[in-house]
Amino acid sequence: MTLSVLVVDDEQTVRETLVEFFETFGYTARGAGTASQARAMAAEHAPDVVVLDLRLPDASGLLLLDALRADDADIGVIVLSGFADVPTTVGAMQRGAVDVLEKPVDLEALAAAVSRASERGRLRQELALLRARDRNGDSPDRSITNASLPPTFEQLVELAARNPDAPVLLQGETGTGKGYVARQIHDRSSRRNAPFVEINCASLTSTFFESELFGHERGAFTDARTAKRGLLEVAGDGTVFLDEIAEMPAEVQPKLLKVIEEHVFRRLGGTTSLRSSARLVVATNEPLAAAVEAKRFRADLFYRLQVLTIMLPPLRDRRGEIAALASALLPRGATLSEAAMNALLDYEWPGNIRELRNTLWRASILSDGAAIQPGHLGLTAAAESVSVAAAPAGVLTLEDAERRAIDAAIRECEGNRTKAAALLGIARSTLNQKLKRLNASL
């Protein structure tokens, strides 16, 4: 189906130029010079996207935006403004605009914005259909894990995978599986054969974070002895996963915004603009709107990232799924006793799925091939240890079991102690202390 665009601008030259520009893409394009003409043409032709100048002779562009979206909530509106500042941008996006571009507008950026606007409208329509289907009890098979998940969750993941250019925002508590879902979206999408790269926004200082994401030229900072490609270059046509996006350094946020809007960036210390065709998936363990309210995160960047938001519920709100999740996460060959399963069901799981996975992994080592018992899980103070004095012949002591668990974790993580500590569910400093105590040379 041909994309339909309505250009609303009181300057005839600008209006006709943009109409001709969109027609070169094969779009159906029309122009209106006033708010009243725009309302009439929108009602008659039902455009997919409206390119809207804020200054019109007969009404405010923002009021027209409200009216257009009241008539059609799925219409994509791109606002053009000769005074595009942050309050203008936020105000327009709060009212439903997909993008706000400053005049004189860059045509390449405008073309990209129109593409995003049409994509967003299609996503909204698909979401509405999916939710209507759920209300009617007609939900598709779910396959994200061996356990069941909220019906719309799986559908949202599939929707994100089918729309590989749309940014995705994953929100949920620590340990709910945001990294896993990001990887699933990539693996199910048309980008699956390109790289999947990730970076934790809270793990580096501003300079080193910018170097990791955008790359740097030789001499860009003290230790920059050679040029380096950033993850946006490395990803190519793949996916860049930005975890803990709410902690992104403030200095980097406008540069990421430019990547989203114009698909261009520069290496740190560089002067050449490079193009990015990667898809962005971002995650946060706090509501991103709260970071905006606290003025730690740009509002305009937030509105551009939330094209498709997926909420990951905490495990305590999914108690009916704990048994199925436990079965899916059990290491190969391990079994759970009925008492151990009851202990899992009674626990609050503040660390969510990550804590469940690590608990089962440690318990399978402590049980040494036997069925896992409540004492192996270590979920209560009374069960934090398996009594060595009472251990029957052939059962591992806690020290031996701990040594095995640490050894297995470090081997699994190829010697990376930070990753091994995370896998074990302890701090790196705690792991180092245990290694020293056990006189382990791993």
The confidence score (pLDDT) of residue 89 equals 72
What is the location of CATH 1.10.8.60 in the chain?
Answer: 316-437
Helical residues (DSSP H) of 138-286, grouped into ranges? 151-162, 178-188, 206-214, 231-235, 253-262
The confidence score (pLDDT) of residue 109 equals 81
pTM check: above 0.85: no
Burial of 22 (0-12, 13-18, 19+ CB in 10 A): buried
Contact, 6 vs 32, CB < 8 A?
yes
pLDDT in tens, the chain (442 residues): 578 899 999 999 999 999 999 998 888 999 999 999 999 999 998 888 999 998 899 888 889 999 998 888 778 899 988 765 667 777 787 788 888 888 888 888 888 888 877 777 666 666 665 555 555 544 433 333 434 444 457 778 888 888 888 899 999 888 888 988 999 999 999 999 999 999 988 878 888 888 889 988 888 777 778 888 999 999 999 999 999 999 999 999 999 998 988 889 999 888 888 999 999 999 998 888 888 888 899 988 898 888 788 888 888 888 888 888 888 888 888 899 999 999 999 888 888 888 898 889 888 888 888 899 988 888 853 333 333 334 444 445 566 667 777 777 777 777 788 777 777 767 677 777 778 777 644 4
Helical residues (DSSP H) of 269-337, grouped into ranges? 288-293, 299-305, 322-329
* Beta-sheet pairing, 49-53 with 279-284: unpaired
The confidence score (pLDDT) of residue 413 equals 76
Rounded Cα gap, residues 259 and 277, in angstroms: 9
CATH architecture of 316-437: Orthogonal Bundle (1.10)
The confidence score (pLDDT) of residue 110 equals 87
Q: Which CATH number is 4-124's, of 3.30.9.10, 3.30.2230.10, 3.40.50.2300, 3.20.20.70?
A: 3.40.50.2300
Q: Which residues are registered as beta bridge partners of 37?
A: none
The confidence score (pLDDT) of residue 124 equals 64
151-313, CATH topology level: Rossmann fold (3.40.50)
The confidence score (pLDDT) of residue 25 equals 85
Contact, 79 vs 97, CB < 8 A?
yes
SS3 283: strand
What is the location of CATH 3.40.50.300 in the chain?
Answer: 151-313
What is the location of CATH 3.40.50.2300 in the chain?
Answer: 4-124
Q: Phi/psi zone of residue 145: left (φ > 0), alpha (ψ -120 to 50 degrees), beta?
A: beta
* Beta-sheet pairing, 239-243 with 279-284: parallel
* Chain-centre distance for alpha carbon 279: 10
Q: Which candidate, 369, 379, 317, places its Cα nearest to that of 342?
A: 379
CB atoms near residue 302 (< 10 Å): 20
How many CA atoms does the CB half-sphere of 293 hold within 13 Å?
Answer: 5
